[in-house]
Structure 1
Amino acid sequence: MELDCTAVLADVWLMLDGECDAATRARLQHHMDHCSPCIEAYGIEEKVKGLLSRKCGGDRAPDSLRERLTVEFRRTVTITNVESPQATES
C-alpha cells in the first residue's frame, strides 16, 4: 500500500516514540527511503523530540495529553492547490 506524504508525516511521532507496530514502521520507513522531503521532515522531528526530552527532563506526558496530541497531529492537513479541469480549458 502506497502512502502519501501527509499520512507519513502524521505518523512520524508514533514512529519516533516506538508506538507503531512493525508493519506500520516498515511501511513508513519504505516511504521515507524513497522520499527525501519526508526523511528530512523525520530528521527535523527527531531533533525536536530530542530537544524536548533534554529540556523536559525526560518527564512522560499524561496519557490524556498524549492522546489529545495524537488526535491533533492526525487532524493536521497539508493543503495543496489543485487546478480544476475547467480552469485549464479557458
Structure 2
Amino acid sequence: MELDCTAVIADVWLMLDGECDESTRARLQHHMDTCSPCIEAYGIEEKIKGLLSRKCGGDRAPDSLRDRLTLEIRKSVTVTRIETTEA
C-alpha cells in the first residue's frame, strides 16, 4: 500500500516516540526511504523532539493533552495538504 505524504508526516511523532507497531514503522520507513521531503520533515521533527526533551527536563504531558495535540496536528497537516492541492 502506497502512503500519502500527509499520512507519513502526521505519524512521524508516533514513530519518533516509538508508539507505532512494527508494520506501521516499516511502512513509514519505506516511504521515507524514497521520499526526500518526508525524510527532511522527519529530521526536523526529530530535532524538535530532542530540543523539547532537553528543555522540558523529561516531564511527561498528560495523555489527554497528547491526544488533543495529535488530533490537531493531523487536522493541520491534512488541511495544509488540501489547500496546497487546490491552489
TM-score of the aligned structures, taking structure 1 as reference length: 0.87
Deviation at 1:80, TM superposition (A): 1.9
2 CA distance for matches of 1:73 and 1:62? 17
- Partner of residue 3, structure 2: 3
Q: Matched residues in 1 for 2:85 and 2:10: separation?
A: 20
TM-score by structure 2 length? 0.90
1:80 maps onto 2:46 in alignment: no
Q: Compare the two structures and name the one with the higher helix fraction.
A: 2
1:35-66 CA distances to partner (integer Å, 9 max, x unpaired)?
A: 00100000000000000000000111111101
1:88 maps to none
Deviation of 1:74 after TM superposition, in Å, equals: 1.6
- Give the match for residue 34 of structure 2: 34
2:69 alignment partner, SS class:
helix
**Greater RCO (Cα-Cα under 8 Å, separation 6 or more):** 2
Matched, 1:65 2:65: yes
Whole-Å separation in 2 of the counterparts to 1:26 and 1:81: 27
Deviation of 1:82 (Å): 4.2
**CA spacing shift, 1:67–1:81, aligned 2, 3 Å:** closer
Q: Secondary structure of the residue that 2:84 maps to in structure 1? A: coil
Q: Percent identity?
A: 81
Once the 2 structures are TM-superposed, how far is the Cα of residue 81 of structure 1 from its aligned partner? 3.5
Could you say what the CA RMSD is over the residues aligned between the two structures, in angstroms?
A: 1.2
Distance between the aligned counterparts of 2:8 and 2:30, measured in 1?
10
